[in-house]
Structure 1
Amino acid sequence: MAMMISADMCTACGDCEPVCPTAAIVPKKGVYFIKADVCTECDGEHDLPQCLNVCTADAITPVDA
């Protein structure tokens, strides 16, 4: 699985990019995007996806949600 950022909700603050251990989060067209083929939901690194912890806009969800 992977995480997804809702472009409509993303404020482009950039807080999520540096906490991603796989560098799956990148800027795209003024907001941030998670590369699904790179995102591991921080499995093996942390108990929960770190991007969820820092996103104050609640713009990040699991892909299957």
Structure 2
Amino acid sequence: MEKGKAPIFTMWIVAIIVGAALYKQIDLKTMTVEKQALSALYAVTFIFAVGVLIRHYIRKPGK
């Protein structure tokens, strides 16, 4: 892999795994979560990973 591709690939994996875990925590009928602290940590991590990905694709270097 190229130098800049490894961290982006890692952020994609983190976003997918944490997003799926966060989705499993949410009860859509009552709009509650099973474990509030863990869900908050998942949400912060997911937002961070998605933010890194968005920032990467906005600042994409031109070749």
TM-score by length of 2: 0.25
The structure where helix makes up a greater share of residues is 2
The structure where strand makes up a greater share of residues is 1
Structure of higher CA gyration radius: 2
TM-score by length of 1: 0.25
